[in-house]
Amino acid sequence: MTNTIADIGDAEVILVTGSNTTENHPVLSSFVKRAVKFKGAKLIVVDPRRIKMTEFANLWIRPRLGTDVAWINGLMNVILHENLHDEDFIEKRTEEFGTLRKVVEKYTPEHVEEITGIPAESLKEAARTFAAAKKGSILYCMGITQHTTGTDNVKSLANLSMLCGFLGMEGGGVNPLRGQNNVQGACDMGGLPNVFPAYLPVIDKAVSARFVEAWGVTSLSTKPGLTVTKMFPAAHDGTLKAMYIIGENPMVSDADLNHVEECLKHLDFLVVQDIFLTETAQMADVVLPSRCFAEKEGTFTNSERRVQRVRKAVEPPGQAHYDWEILCDVANRMGYPMSYADSEAVFEEIRKVTPSYAGITYERIEGEGIHWPCPNEEHPGTPILHREMFTRGKGLFHAIEYVAPAEQVDEDYPLYLTTGRVLYHYHTGTMTMKSEGLNEIAPEGFVEIADEDAQRLGIADGDTVSVASRRGKVTARAQISEKAVSGTVFMPFHYAQAAANKLTNAALDPVCGIPEFKVCAVKLEKRAA
């Protein structure tokens, strides 16, 4: 996030897209609702489903799945055509504006309506509402990123924010909402195959030399590793022999699960480190028991880049250990001596090798967290990014053309499927499905369908239906819902028994390698009683 969560309350207009905020981020959603209800902020929701947040919106526009670049370009077309853009910001703080302008010229509201299904007048109203504000916040989540054009979608939102001059200010910014509670921290620590901590590139020999010295080794590879979506095919063809999976359950969360299972079976050796015996752990040769969040001391870094203390509330069961303790034990047995006195000692090393964390100490975050970057102990932290300049100097406009999703509906598979979460379960249910109360409220998977589609297919609410794609088939309970819009069905991905990801398309974004979880073609059939 370029801005803080509390900062949402200062926005005059809030654009929420690709985020079922009330169910995925219920606490954060309250900041949006309060801004609308008590501070008069205008809310634009762009989503293919009639999600709860639409009830608070001044305007809900419903695009066809996978058409985000087109409607964002359409907003910019209207803003430029009506001279609503921030010329001063563009002139002083950006470059390649002319290239962007040339590309979005063709994305007239009428042309965008043909691609997206959004009425031209609704697009114009959204553009005027957004650009007329003095400060506007964009909130997005995996409905934007989990596409073959996910990188393009994010760049397009950045284009829109720069066009209106909404970066580097209170109440502005481009703000991705993280799907899990320490995803931001994991990325900051180098949990990506092409970077060291603080996003320092592994291909840079000077950077590599710094970590060679810090970690007391003779050399480090300057070759990027594999993303998870490349690991599984490599396992299948035998070039990847072993996997060590920590706190992840790909047997429920990854796309095209039948293929994932085959890939895991091809491995010579599988280690899973987790707090419960997940569907993935059940396939492992070795399972290493780790502590859950309430059994740990340490830090989490949340969506707004705030580094916060976590304190142990309960004792761990059995032989559960800190993740760092397990990793140290493995490293020692493999010939590299690793030992720390405690979690704070680990954090002290983090400070030394991660420039953006250098000024953060346990003492400084005893009561309240600090936003990185925080380069030294006198620095207050950075709640808002890009106030004076961007990391690269000037902000770069990217001229992006619309590209259709990897899979389209046809006679055999006439409905689009999109996936997501429900309020009562979390990710693959590793923790939440151990709760009797939550299981009573949300006991099983379902397929959400519009009444119009249900009537055409002869499906009643509560019927058992089969949902099939070109990759697999699952059985789920039909849920006729006002959230659903004709032509599109929705399934939560939490439930292993009705695993939506047996259906989803593993086609990848060519830049970041994320699968197209949010768009695939399916067919529904009522199952005999």
Domain assignment present for 111: yes
The whole-number pLDDT of residue 80 equals: 98
Task: Give the pLDDT score at 199.
Answer: 94
pLDDT at residue 70 in the model: 98
Q: Which residues contact 41 (CB under 8 A, 6 or more apart)?
A: 9, 11, 12, 13, 14, 35
Query: Which has more confidence, 429 or 344?
Result: 344
At 529 the pLDDT is 63
The predicted pLDDT at position 162 comes to 98
- Domain end position, chosen among 336, 371, 406: 371
Q: What is the mean pLDDT of residues 442-465?
A: 94
Distance CA 182, CA 196 (A): 17
Quick check: is 387 in a domain?
A: no
Asked if residue 512 is part of any domain, the answer here is yes
The Cα 467–Cα 131 span in angstroms is 42
What is the tens place of the pLDDT at every residue in 122-155? 999 999 999 999 999 999 999 999 999 999 999 9
Same structural domain for residues 133 and 71? yes
User: Averaged over 351-362, what is the pLDDT?
Assistant: 96
Q: Are residues 151 and 210 in the same domain?
A: no
Tens digits of residue pLDDT in 205-245: 999 999 999 999 999 999 999 999 999 999 999 999 999 99
Contact 455, 461 (CB under 8 A): no
Mean pLDDT over residues 84-113, rounded? 97
- According to the model, what pLDDT value does residue 107 have? 98
In a shared domain, residues 219 and 344? yes
Residue 17 phi/psi, 5-degree rounding, is: -145, 140
For residue 180, is pLDDT > 80? no
Residue 34 sits in the same domain as residue 106: yes
Using an 8 Å Cβ cutoff, are 31 and 6 in contact? yes
pLDDT at residue 449, as a whole number? 96
**Longest C-alpha distance within the chain, in Å?**
69
Domain with 50, as residue range(s), is 6-177
Contact 515, 229 (CB under 8 A): yes
Rounded mean pLDDT of the chain?
94
253 vs 68: CA distance, rounded Å = 23
Domain boundary among 338, 371, 404: 371
Q: Are residues 265 and 212 part of one domain?
A: yes
Residues 242 and 279 reside in one and the same domain? yes
246 with 202, same domain: the answer is yes
| 389 falls within a domain | no
